[in-house]
């Protein structure tokens, strides 16, 4: 492993709303090394997207409070001005947005949208930028890039648009790409294509990738490490193998159980996690998952567990009643 590219320490993002403070991200710490893929997994509303945008420094500045520290390649992101962030965006860190239907400007040719990053950020002239943009479009697998350069987003399919979004993110060779549910808006058949593309580009350009998803299947073969989030907090983290086969936190288990598997008999009911994620604006004492947890005891409802080390290095979990440690849990 190479040196640390990203160091997140006790990061908290709190929204100030009319009904009170909502801690969307409540004290998250992790590291990311060079040329690594980190998967962040959680249900809707677990704070994944807010975490991603906070790391990017893209969170709106009004009515949002961010504390803690995000060191990106040695630069502090928390509290940095938009002006400072502008020097890091695109060149240090770039984002692949969730929905390619809304993340591209509908009235701008796609070539221009890639071009302008190159021209504004790298000072390329018109011709060089154009040539590079066509090169990028080719690299992300857009056929006849030369003519597609002049297309408007509406003239492309969802998968093609997401490729354009990826090409835009790659334009200034960032060291870190944050992909926030990059395939949620796409057909299943296209999902694998896009994820494989991200994977191969990561190798090719030796970047790091943070892959955010609600689908454990997406990160299973692609991430080197996985963070499981619940209610704005990390509940389990570790090497992908450990999280899949030696998970200790019941939530991770429930999440794995609730994803459909090819080996399931036909018409089997899919396991669901009862209840809903907690409302973060009314904080409860204890473990946030306790109300939905089959293993919850009295203690879980009053005292919040903190992350503790499991046996494998880097594998940590937050639970008072962890699942027993086993050798290879059944692959799920």
Partner 1 sequence: MLRYVLRRLVMLVGIVFIISVGSFYLIHLLPGDPATVILGTGASPANRAILYKQLGLNKPIIEQYFVWIGNVLHGNLGTSFISQTSVASTIRAAYPIDLELIFLSQVLAFAAAIPLAMRSARKPNGLLDRLLSAGSFTLLSIPPFIVIVLLVLIVSIKLGIANTGPSSFVSFASNWRVNLTSLALPSITLATASFVLYFRVLRSDMIATLQEEFITMARSKGLSQRRIMWRHAFRPSSVALLGTAGVNIGGLLAGGFVVQYLLGIPGLGYTLISAIASSDYLLVQGIVLVVSVGVVLINFFFDFLTSLVDPRISRE
Q: Closest CB to partner 1 among 183 and 252?
A: 183
> Site for partner 1 (CB under 8 A): which residue of 51, 94, 160, 318?
94
By CB under 8 A, which span of 25-33, 34-42, 150-158, 205-213 interacts with partner 1?
150-158
Q: Closest CB to partner 1 among 89 and 251?
A: 89
Q: What are phi and psi of 316, to 5 degrees?
A: -135, 155
Q: Does 244 bind partner 1 (CB under 8 A)?
A: no
DSSP state of 208: E
Q: Which strands make up the sheet holding 20-33, listed edge to edge?
A: 20-33, 4-17, 64-72, 75-76
By CB under 8 A, which span of 113-121, 229-237, 246-254, 284-292 interacts with partner 1?
113-121
- Applying the rule CB under 8 A, the residues between 159 and 218 that interact with partner 1 are 165, 168, 171-172
Query: Which residue shows structure tokens 């803690």?
Result: 68
Q: Closest CB to partner 1 among 89 and 289?
A: 89
> Site for partner 1 (CB under 8 A): which residue of 16, 44, 120, 258?
120
d(CA 268, CA 139): 42
Please state, in angstroms and as integers, the Cα–Cα distance from residue 49 to each residue in 95, 161, 271, following that order: 11, 20, 25
How many residues bind partner 1 (CB under 8 A)? The answer is 33
> Site for partner 1 (CB under 8 A): which residue of 108, 131, 270, 302?
108
Minimum gap (Å) between residue 143 Cβ and partner 1 = 20
By CB under 8 A, which span of 86-94, 210-218, 293-301, 311-319 interacts with partner 1?
86-94
d(CA 171, CA 180): 18
d(CA 40, CA 46): 10
> Site for partner 1 (CB under 8 A): which residue of 27, 29, 34, 152?
152
Burial class (CB in 10 A: 0-12, 13-18, 19+), 163: buried
For residue 206, give the 3-state DSSP assignment: coil
d(CA 236, CA 314): 10
From residue 31 to residue 60, what is the string marking binding to partner 1 with x (rule CB under 8 A)?
-------------------------x-x--
Tokens of 70: 């995000």
Please state, in angstroms and as integers, the Cα–Cα distance from residue 155 to each residue in 131, 151, 167, following that order: 21, 6, 17
Q: Closest CB to partner 1 among 120 and 308?
A: 120
DSSP state of 273: -
Q: Does 224 bind partner 1 (CB under 8 A)?
A: no
> Site for partner 1 (CB under 8 A): which residue of 30, 89, 149, 230?
89
Q: Closest CB to partner 1 among 152 and 295?
A: 152
By CB under 8 A, which span of 78-86, 135-143, 230-238, 260-268 interacts with partner 1?
78-86
By CB under 8 A, which span of 92-100, 129-137, 248-256, 286-294 interacts with partner 1?
92-100
DSSP notation for 213-251: ES-HHHHHTT-SEEEEEETTEEEEEEEHHHHHHS--SHH
Binding footprint of partner 1 on the chain (CB under 8 A)? 56, 58, 82, 85-91, 94-95, 97-99, 102-108, 116-117, 120-121, 152, 154-155, 165, 168, 171-172
């Amino acid at each position: 492993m190479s040196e640390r590219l990203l160091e997140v320490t006790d990061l908290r993002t709190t929204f100030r709303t009319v009904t009170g403070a909502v801690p969307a991200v409540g004290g998250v710490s992790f590291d990311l090394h060079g040329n690594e893929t980190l998967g962040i997994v959680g249900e809707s509303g677990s704070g994944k997207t807010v975490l991603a945008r906070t790391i990017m420094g893209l969170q709106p500045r009004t009515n949002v409070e961010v504390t803690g520290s995000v060191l990106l390649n040695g630069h502090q992101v928390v509290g940095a001005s938009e002006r400072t962030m502008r020097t890091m965006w695109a060149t240090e860190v770039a984002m692949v947005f969730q929905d390619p239907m809304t993340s591209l400007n509908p009235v701008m040719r796609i070539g221009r949208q890639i071009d302008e990053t190159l021209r504004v950020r790298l000072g390329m002239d018109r011709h060089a930028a154009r040539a590079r943009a066509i090169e990028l479009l080719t690299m992300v697998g857009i056929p006849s890039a030369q003519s597609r350069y002049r297309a408007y987003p509406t003239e492309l399919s969802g998968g093609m648009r997401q490729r354009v979004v990826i090409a835009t993110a790659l334009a200034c060779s960032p060291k870190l790409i944050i992909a926030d549910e990059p395939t949620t808006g796409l057909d299943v058949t296209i999902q694998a294509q896009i994820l494989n593309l991200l994977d191969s580009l990561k190798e090719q350009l030796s970047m790091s990738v943070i892959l955010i998803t609600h689908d454990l299947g997406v990160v299973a073969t692609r991430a080197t490490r996985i963070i499981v989030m619940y209610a704005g907090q990390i509940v389990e983290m570790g090497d992908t193998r450990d999280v899949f086969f030696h998970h200790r936190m019941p939530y991770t288990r429930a999440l794995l159980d609730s994803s459909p598997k090819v080996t399931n008999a036909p018409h089997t009911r899919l396991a669901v996690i009862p209840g809903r994620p907690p409302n973060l604006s009314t904080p409860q004492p204890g473990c946030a998952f306790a109300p939905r947890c089959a293993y919850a005891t009295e203690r879980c409802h009053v005292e919040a567990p903190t992350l503790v080390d499991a046996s494998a290095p880097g594998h940590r979990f937050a639970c008072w009643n962890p699942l027993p440690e086993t050798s290879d849990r059944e692959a799920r």
